[in-house]
Amino acid sequence: MAGEEGADVLAITEHWKCYCRTQGKHGGSAIYSKEKFKCTERTDYSLLSVSNIIECSAAQIYLENYKILIVCIYRPNTQPVADVDQFLEVLRIILEKCTVEKGKFILVGDFNLDILSDSTNVSEFKSLLENFNLDFTNFVPTRPASGSCLDNIITPLPGQTRVLEYHISDHCALKFVANSLYSNHINKRKIKRRIINDGTIANFVQKLTSINWDDIYTCTSDPNQLWNIFHERFSKTFEQCFPKVEVYLSSNEKNIKVTPDVEHLKDILDKLYIVSFARPEFKATYISIKKQYDNSLSQKKKDHFNSLIRIQKISQRLHGG
Protein backbone atom coordinates (compact mmCIF):
# COMPACT_ATOMS: atom_id res chain seq x y z
CA MET A 1 0.00 0.00 0.00
CA ALA A 2 2.72 2.48 1.00
CA GLY A 3 4.73 1.71 -2.12
CA GLU A 4 1.72 2.03 -4.39
CA GLU A 5 0.82 5.42 -2.91
CA GLY A 6 4.42 6.65 -2.95
CA ALA A 7 4.33 7.43 0.77
CA ASP A 8 7.45 8.99 2.32
CA VAL A 9 6.34 8.48 5.92
CA LEU A 10 4.04 5.77 7.28
CA ALA A 11 2.23 6.13 10.63
CA ILE A 12 0.50 3.02 11.97
CA THR A 13 -1.79 2.47 14.96
CA GLU A 14 -2.97 -0.82 16.47
CA HIS A 15 -0.04 -2.72 14.99
CA TRP A 16 -0.18 -5.24 17.88
CA LYS A 17 3.59 -5.23 18.44
CA CYS A 18 4.59 -5.95 22.02
CA TYR A 19 7.32 -3.29 22.27
CA CYS A 20 4.76 -0.49 22.62
CA ARG A 21 3.00 -1.89 25.68
CA THR A 22 4.05 -3.25 29.04
CA GLN A 23 0.60 -4.69 29.65
CA GLY A 24 -2.45 -5.67 27.65
CA LYS A 25 -2.47 -6.68 23.99
CA HIS A 26 -3.12 -5.17 20.57
CA GLY A 27 -2.87 -1.38 20.28
CA GLY A 28 0.37 0.39 19.52
CA SER A 29 1.67 3.42 17.63
CA ALA A 30 4.64 3.50 15.25
CA ILE A 31 6.23 5.67 12.53
CA TYR A 32 8.34 4.52 9.58
CA SER A 33 10.14 6.70 7.03
CA LYS A 34 12.09 6.13 3.86
CA GLU A 35 15.83 5.58 4.32
CA LYS A 36 16.63 8.66 2.23
CA PHE A 37 15.40 10.87 5.08
CA LYS A 38 17.35 11.67 8.18
CA CYS A 39 14.95 10.70 10.94
CA THR A 40 15.27 10.75 14.73
CA GLU A 41 12.90 9.45 17.39
CA ARG A 42 11.35 12.02 19.73
CA THR A 43 11.09 10.14 23.01
CA ASP A 44 9.91 13.28 24.83
CA TYR A 45 6.56 12.70 23.12
CA SER A 46 6.38 8.93 23.53
CA LEU A 47 6.99 9.36 27.27
CA LEU A 48 3.64 11.15 27.48
CA SER A 49 1.86 7.87 26.69
CA VAL A 50 -0.51 6.67 29.41
CA SER A 51 -1.63 3.05 29.59
CA ASN A 52 -5.22 2.53 28.37
CA ILE A 53 -5.54 6.28 27.70
CA ILE A 54 -3.18 7.34 24.91
CA GLU A 55 -0.30 5.76 22.99
CA CYS A 56 2.05 8.13 21.24
CA SER A 57 5.12 7.88 19.01
CA ALA A 58 6.95 10.76 17.34
CA ALA A 59 9.73 11.30 14.84
CA GLN A 60 11.63 14.33 13.56
CA ILE A 61 12.09 14.23 9.79
CA TYR A 62 14.86 16.40 8.32
CA LEU A 63 14.51 17.68 4.77
CA GLU A 64 16.63 20.27 2.93
CA ASN A 65 16.89 23.22 5.35
CA TYR A 66 13.60 22.08 6.80
CA LYS A 67 12.35 19.79 9.51
CA ILE A 68 8.95 18.44 10.32
CA LEU A 69 7.64 16.67 13.41
CA ILE A 70 5.35 13.65 12.90
CA VAL A 71 3.29 12.55 15.92
CA CYS A 72 1.25 9.35 15.72
CA ILE A 73 -1.50 8.91 18.32
CA TYR A 74 -3.75 6.01 19.23
CA ARG A 75 -6.54 6.32 21.78
CA PRO A 76 -7.62 2.94 23.18
CA ASN A 77 -11.38 2.71 23.56
CA THR A 78 -11.59 -0.25 25.91
CA GLN A 79 -14.35 0.28 28.45
CA PRO A 80 -14.51 1.07 31.29
CA VAL A 81 -10.85 2.12 31.57
CA ALA A 82 -10.94 4.58 28.64
CA ASP A 83 -10.97 8.14 29.97
CA VAL A 84 -11.63 10.83 27.34
CA ASP A 85 -10.98 13.72 29.74
CA GLN A 86 -7.55 12.36 30.57
CA PHE A 87 -6.85 11.74 26.89
CA LEU A 88 -7.71 15.35 26.01
CA GLU A 89 -5.50 16.61 28.84
CA VAL A 90 -2.49 14.69 27.48
CA LEU A 91 -3.37 15.82 23.95
CA ARG A 92 -3.33 19.42 25.19
CA ILE A 93 0.23 18.91 26.46
CA ILE A 94 1.25 17.38 23.13
CA LEU A 95 -0.26 20.29 21.18
CA GLU A 96 1.49 22.83 23.41
CA LYS A 97 4.80 21.09 22.77
CA CYS A 98 4.13 20.97 19.04
CA THR A 99 3.28 24.66 18.74
CA VAL A 100 6.59 25.79 20.26
CA GLU A 101 8.67 23.57 17.97
CA LYS A 102 11.13 25.24 15.57
CA GLY A 103 9.41 23.58 12.61
CA LYS A 104 6.01 22.43 11.39
CA PHE A 105 4.19 19.38 12.71
CA ILE A 106 1.62 16.78 11.70
CA LEU A 107 -0.55 14.86 14.18
CA VAL A 108 -2.03 11.70 12.76
CA GLY A 109 -3.82 8.73 14.25
CA ASP A 110 -6.86 6.86 15.44
CA PHE A 111 -8.55 9.09 18.01
CA ASN A 112 -11.58 6.80 18.43
CA LEU A 113 -13.85 9.84 18.62
CA ASP A 114 -16.42 10.16 15.85
CA ILE A 115 -16.10 13.81 14.81
CA LEU A 116 -19.27 13.47 12.72
CA SER A 117 -21.29 13.09 15.92
CA ASP A 118 -22.42 15.86 18.26
CA SER A 119 -21.36 14.19 21.51
CA THR A 120 -19.94 16.18 24.42
CA ASN A 121 -16.56 14.45 24.03
CA VAL A 122 -16.33 15.43 20.38
CA SER A 123 -17.29 19.03 21.21
CA GLU A 124 -14.48 19.19 23.76
CA PHE A 125 -12.10 17.66 21.21
CA LYS A 126 -12.98 20.31 18.63
CA SER A 127 -12.76 23.08 21.22
CA LEU A 128 -9.26 21.96 22.20
CA LEU A 129 -8.09 22.19 18.60
CA GLU A 130 -9.69 25.60 18.16
CA ASN A 131 -7.61 26.88 21.09
CA PHE A 132 -4.52 26.17 18.95
CA ASN A 133 -6.05 27.47 15.70
CA LEU A 134 -6.17 23.92 14.36
CA ASP A 135 -8.85 21.83 12.73
CA PHE A 136 -9.38 18.36 11.29
CA THR A 137 -8.30 17.83 7.70
CA ASN A 138 -10.70 14.93 7.13
CA PHE A 139 -14.50 14.73 7.51
CA VAL A 140 -15.06 11.54 5.52
CA PRO A 141 -15.94 8.31 7.43
CA THR A 142 -12.88 6.14 8.07
CA ARG A 143 -14.75 3.15 9.51
CA PRO A 144 -17.17 2.12 6.75
CA ALA A 145 -19.03 -0.44 8.88
CA SER A 146 -20.31 2.25 11.24
CA GLY A 147 -20.00 5.32 9.00
CA SER A 148 -17.91 7.04 11.66
CA CYS A 149 -14.88 9.28 11.24
CA LEU A 150 -12.46 8.07 13.92
CA ASP A 151 -9.12 8.72 12.18
CA ASN A 152 -7.71 12.11 11.28
CA ILE A 153 -4.76 14.29 10.45
CA ILE A 154 -4.23 17.59 12.26
CA THR A 155 -1.62 20.07 11.05
CA PRO A 156 -1.07 23.79 10.32
CA LEU A 157 0.55 22.76 7.02
CA PRO A 158 -1.49 23.41 3.87
CA GLY A 159 -2.27 20.22 1.99
CA GLN A 160 -4.87 17.62 1.08
CA THR A 161 -6.08 14.55 2.98
CA ARG A 162 -7.65 11.57 1.19
CA VAL A 163 -9.33 8.46 2.58
CA LEU A 164 -7.96 5.22 1.11
CA GLU A 165 -9.69 1.83 1.30
CA TYR A 166 -7.32 -1.14 1.01
CA HIS A 167 -9.47 -3.65 2.92
CA ILE A 168 -6.68 -4.70 5.26
CA SER A 169 -8.40 -3.31 8.36
CA ASP A 170 -11.83 -2.27 9.58
CA HIS A 171 -10.50 1.30 9.35
CA CYS A 172 -9.55 3.10 6.16
CA ALA A 173 -6.13 4.66 5.68
CA LEU A 174 -5.48 8.40 5.34
CA LYS A 175 -3.02 10.01 2.98
CA PHE A 176 -1.87 13.59 3.51
CA VAL A 177 0.05 15.43 0.81
CA ALA A 178 1.64 18.68 1.94
CA ASN A 179 1.81 21.56 -0.52
CA SER A 180 5.43 21.75 -1.68
CA LEU A 181 7.44 21.69 1.55
CA TYR A 182 10.66 22.54 -0.26
CA SER A 183 9.27 25.64 -1.97
CA ASN A 184 8.13 27.07 1.37
CA HIS A 185 11.56 28.71 1.68
CA ILE A 186 11.23 30.77 -1.49
CA ASN A 187 9.28 33.55 0.20
CA LYS A 188 10.97 33.22 3.59
CA ARG A 189 13.46 35.79 4.73
CA LYS A 190 16.94 34.63 5.72
CA ILE A 191 18.58 35.97 8.84
CA LYS A 192 21.85 35.33 10.65
CA ARG A 193 21.56 33.87 14.11
CA ARG A 194 23.76 32.29 16.73
CA ILE A 195 22.83 28.69 17.57
CA ILE A 196 22.69 28.60 21.35
CA ASN A 197 21.58 25.37 22.98
CA ASP A 198 22.75 22.93 25.68
CA GLY A 199 25.38 21.43 23.35
CA THR A 200 26.95 24.69 22.20
CA ILE A 201 26.90 26.12 25.73
CA ALA A 202 28.63 23.02 27.12
CA ASN A 203 31.28 23.33 24.41
CA PHE A 204 31.75 27.03 25.26
CA VAL A 205 32.18 26.34 28.98
CA GLN A 206 34.65 23.52 28.25
CA LYS A 207 36.78 25.78 26.05
CA LEU A 208 36.74 28.58 28.64
CA THR A 209 37.96 26.21 31.36
CA SER A 210 40.82 25.04 29.11
CA ILE A 211 42.19 28.58 28.68
CA ASN A 212 45.14 29.51 30.86
CA TRP A 213 44.18 32.66 32.80
CA ASP A 214 47.19 32.68 35.15
CA ASP A 215 48.78 35.76 33.57
CA ILE A 216 45.64 37.80 34.28
CA TYR A 217 45.46 36.72 37.94
CA THR A 218 49.16 37.19 38.68
CA CYS A 219 50.02 40.19 36.50
CA THR A 220 50.15 43.56 38.31
CA SER A 221 50.12 45.76 35.23
CA ASP A 222 47.41 48.21 34.16
CA PRO A 223 43.88 46.84 34.95
CA ASN A 224 42.63 48.19 31.63
CA GLN A 225 45.25 46.16 29.79
CA LEU A 226 44.28 43.04 31.76
CA TRP A 227 40.62 43.62 30.87
CA ASN A 228 41.51 43.92 27.19
CA ILE A 229 43.41 40.62 27.31
CA PHE A 230 40.48 38.88 29.04
CA HIS A 231 37.91 40.39 26.69
CA GLU A 232 39.88 39.40 23.59
CA ARG A 233 40.21 35.76 24.69
CA PHE A 234 36.61 35.55 25.84
CA SER A 235 35.22 37.11 22.65
CA LYS A 236 37.34 34.93 20.40
CA THR A 237 36.12 31.79 22.18
CA PHE A 238 32.53 33.03 22.05
CA GLU A 239 32.69 33.59 18.29
CA GLN A 240 34.19 30.14 17.79
CA CYS A 241 31.45 28.42 19.78
CA PHE A 242 28.50 30.58 18.68
CA PRO A 243 29.20 31.66 15.11
CA LYS A 244 26.38 33.41 13.26
CA VAL A 245 24.80 31.10 10.71
CA GLU A 246 22.20 31.80 8.05
CA VAL A 247 18.73 30.44 8.84
CA TYR A 248 15.25 30.92 7.48
CA LEU A 249 12.91 33.08 9.50
CA SER A 250 10.09 30.72 10.41
CA SER A 251 6.47 31.80 10.52
CA ASN A 252 6.59 30.74 14.17
CA GLU A 253 8.75 33.82 14.81
CA LYS A 254 5.61 35.89 14.49
CA ASN A 255 3.89 34.04 17.31
CA ILE A 256 3.74 35.12 20.93
CA LYS A 257 7.14 34.78 22.56
CA VAL A 258 7.26 32.53 25.60
CA THR A 259 9.77 33.70 28.19
CA PRO A 260 12.24 31.31 29.86
CA ASP A 261 10.35 31.44 33.17
CA VAL A 262 7.15 30.25 31.47
CA GLU A 263 9.07 27.56 29.56
CA HIS A 264 10.59 26.38 32.85
CA LEU A 265 7.14 26.27 34.43
CA LYS A 266 5.87 24.23 31.46
CA ASP A 267 8.75 21.77 31.83
CA ILE A 268 7.92 21.26 35.52
CA LEU A 269 4.23 20.88 34.65
CA ASP A 270 4.89 18.11 32.11
CA LYS A 271 7.05 16.17 34.56
CA LEU A 272 4.56 16.57 37.41
CA TYR A 273 1.76 15.36 35.15
CA ILE A 274 3.62 12.13 34.40
CA VAL A 275 4.75 11.60 38.00
CA SER A 276 1.25 12.20 39.39
CA PHE A 277 -0.02 8.98 37.79
CA ALA A 278 2.39 6.86 39.84
CA ARG A 279 2.39 9.18 42.87
CA PRO A 280 -1.13 10.58 43.47
CA GLU A 281 0.20 12.83 46.22
CA PHE A 282 1.71 15.04 43.49
CA LYS A 283 -1.70 15.65 41.90
CA ALA A 284 -2.42 18.71 44.07
CA THR A 285 1.00 20.17 43.22
CA TYR A 286 0.33 19.56 39.53
CA ILE A 287 -3.00 21.40 39.73
CA SER A 288 -1.36 24.31 41.55
CA ILE A 289 1.50 24.61 39.03
CA LYS A 290 -0.94 24.26 36.14
CA LYS A 291 -2.91 27.24 37.46
CA GLN A 292 0.30 29.29 37.67
CA TYR A 293 1.24 28.26 34.13
CA ASP A 294 -2.19 29.07 32.69
CA ASN A 295 -2.17 32.48 34.40
CA SER A 296 1.34 33.24 33.14
CA LEU A 297 0.47 32.23 29.60
CA SER A 298 -2.73 34.26 29.72
CA GLN A 299 -0.78 37.33 30.86
CA LYS A 300 1.77 36.89 28.05
CA LYS A 301 -1.07 36.82 25.51
CA LYS A 302 -2.61 39.96 27.02
CA ASP A 303 0.73 41.77 26.94
CA HIS A 304 1.29 40.68 23.34
CA PHE A 305 -2.06 41.90 22.07
CA ASN A 306 -1.92 45.12 24.13
CA SER A 307 1.43 45.83 22.49
CA LEU A 308 -0.06 45.24 19.03
CA ILE A 309 -2.93 47.61 19.83
CA ARG A 310 -0.55 50.32 21.08
CA ILE A 311 1.57 50.01 17.93
CA GLN A 312 -1.53 50.24 15.76
CA LYS A 313 -2.73 53.37 17.57
CA ILE A 314 0.67 55.04 17.23
CA SER A 315 0.73 54.16 13.53
CA GLN A 316 -2.73 55.67 13.04
CA ARG A 317 -1.73 58.91 14.79
CA LEU A 318 1.44 59.18 12.71
CA HIS A 319 -0.51 58.73 9.50
CA GLY A 320 -3.38 60.94 10.55
CA GLY A 321 -5.80 58.04 10.91
Q: Do residues 157 and 194 share a domain?
A: no
Predicted local confidence at residue 185, as pLDDT: 44
Given 181, 201, 219, the domain boundary residue is: 181
Number of domains in the chain: 3
Look up the CATH number of the domain holding residue 154. 3.60.10.10
Q: Do residues 35 and 127 share a domain?
A: yes
Q: Do residues 151 and 287 share a domain?
A: no
Q: Do residues 151 and 74 share a domain?
A: yes
Q: Do residues 156 and 23 share a domain?
A: yes
pTM of the model: 0.55
Given 181, 216, 235, the domain boundary residue is: 181
Domain containing 20 equals 2-181
Q: Do residues 71 and 99 share a domain?
A: yes
Q: Do residues 112 and 244 share a domain?
A: no
**Cis status, amide bond into 158, omega within 30 of 0:** no
pLDDT tens-place values along the chain, 321 residues long: 444 456 788 888 875 555 455 555 555 788 888 877 888 999 999 899 988 899 999 999 887 777 899 999 999 887 666 789 999 999 999 999 888 887 789 999 999 999 999 899 999 999 999 988 899 999 989 887 788 999 999 999 988 898 887 545 668 889 898 876 544 444 455 556 666 666 777 787 888 888 888 887 777 677 888 888 887 887 888 788 878 776 554 444 445 566 777 777 877 776 676 566 557 888 888 888 888 888 887 787 777 777 767 666 655 665 555
Given 141, 163, 181, the domain boundary residue is: 181
Q: Do residues 93 and 242 share a domain?
A: no
Predicted local confidence at residue 153, as pLDDT: 95
- Confirm if 241 and 203 have CB atoms less than 8 A apart: yes
- The total of other beta-carbon atoms located within 10 Å of residue 230's CB is 14
Q: Do residues 73 and 164 share a domain?
A: yes
